[in-house]
Amino acid sequence: MLNMLKGFEQIFDKHDWKAVSASIYAKTSKDVERALSTSSRDIEDFKALISPAAEQYLEQMAQQSHALTKKHFGNNIQMYIPLYLSNECQNICTYCGFSLDVKLKRKTLTDAEIHAEAKLIKRLGYDHVLVVTGEANKTVGMPYFLNAIKILKQYFAHISLEVQPLEQEDYFKLKQAGVQAILVYQETYHKEDYKKHHPKGRKSNFAYRLDTPDRIGRSGMHKIGLGVLIGLEDWRVDSFFTALHMQYLEKKYWKSRYAISFPRLRPCASGIPLKSVISDRQLTQLICAYRLLNPMVELSMSTRESQKFRDNIIKLGITSISAESSTEPGGYSTPKKSLEQFETDDKRNTKSFVQVIKDQGYNVVFKDWDKSLQ
């Protein structure tokens, strides 16, 4: 049943997409300089920092972002790896390789297969796994999640989850079972076009998905991850709403930590053309803008990006990064490639990427949090 508390929706409804867009694109060099000159930035400063006017200030933004990240996170980069347990999904999404209308062999890992994946990932050195599934409540619902977590706790100290939106009591049960973080991406905050990208399935309910971080927050989850699918709609406007959402959550659920991810639309079996192309330079601008807005938020980067970009972005604000990722169930122990959600770009193994991080003077952290420290 939908929670009657409207939460972030009350704030979201006060902001018109077109008006926000016009405000961002109207920002001037003076607005950017003002944002760069203050140490306490607000959402209007963030608009300026993601605007076209800020592109000529990227060097200053990068320098400040580097300094803030080093001040609050030290020379540490946390490593994680995604673990796909199922590609079964009941939704139709225009951009996803797991979409119900894609002719894809469906696979959900058995207990033995989960053990096999976990053992291999553990040998690579990881202690933090991000569990991912398609959205199929009957096949991969709460009973499946709780069983999988019970298995994975035998191998890993930190378990994050990126699955379908659930009820508040479900998030509480997951927290009790040992999950430390829940990631949920709105995909896009463009309310009208959201329906075009999600024509069928529970995911088509925009309001329910928008309320999900509130339900996670009320459960007392240690960390909440947010993001949009960059390229689906105007990346600047979507990023504004993500930042607005984060600020609301931080104020209301102040005991939780927060993370922002930057998934760019990648080729997949159900792929649609990019509506809003973002260059490497603009993505760097966006990452720096988030760091300048919030010095304490965790910023995460996946293997969607190229080797060159990932190597260069390490010092500019990113605090969490993956390597050697597979986006298919069973992809580490029995890779097939025919089951994957999307194509990764950086395909280097963990050992070689760890060396890249160390060569830049950073410490590699495979475990970032312990329940005993809560």
**pLDDT tens digits for the chain (374 residues)?**
344 457 999 999 999 999 999 999 999 999 999 999 998 999 999 999 999 999 999 999 999 999 999 999 999 999 999 999 999 988 888 877 777 777 778 999 999 999 999 999 999 999 999 999 988 888 999 999 999 999 999 999 999 999 999 999 999 999 999 999 999 999 999 999 999 999 888 889 999 999 999 999 999 999 999 999 998 999 999 999 999 999 999 999 999 999 999 998 865 444 566 677 899 999 999 999 999 999 999 999 999 899 999 999 999 999 999 999 998 999 999 887 655 555 678 899 999 999 999 999 999 998 654 443 34
The pLDDT value given to residue 272: 64
Contacts of 300 (CB under 8 A, 6+ apart): 80, 225, 259, 260, 261, 262, 318, 319, 320, 321
The beta strand positions in 227-288, using DSSP E, are 257-261
Contacts of 254 (CB under 8 A, 6+ apart): none
Domains of the chain: 41-367 (3.20.20.70)
Question: Which residues make beta-bridge pairs with 161?
Answer: 131, 182
- The pTM (predicted TM-score) of the whole model is 0.93
Q: Compute the distance between CA of residue 236 and CA of residue 215 in angstroms, rounded to an integer.
A: 26
The pLDDT value given to residue 140: 95
CA-based nearest residue to 271, from 313, 316, 241, 229: 229
CB-count burial class (<10 Å; 0-12, 13-18, 19+) for 28: exposed
The pLDDT value given to residue 165: 96
260: left (phi over 0), alpha (psi -120 to 50) or beta: beta
Give phi and psi for 100, each to the nearest 5. Answer: -55, -30
Three-class secondary structure of residue 178 per DSSP: coil
Q: Compute the distance between CA of residue 133 and CA of residue 122 in angstroms, rounded to an integer.
A: 20
User: Do 186 and 225 meet the contact criterion of CB atoms below 8 Å apart?
Assistant: no
Sign for the CA dihedral angle at 203, 117, 330, 258 comes to: positive
CA-based nearest residue to 106, from 283, 336, 273, 291: 336
- Locus of tokens 């990240």: 69
Helix count (H) and strand count (E) of the chain? 15, 9
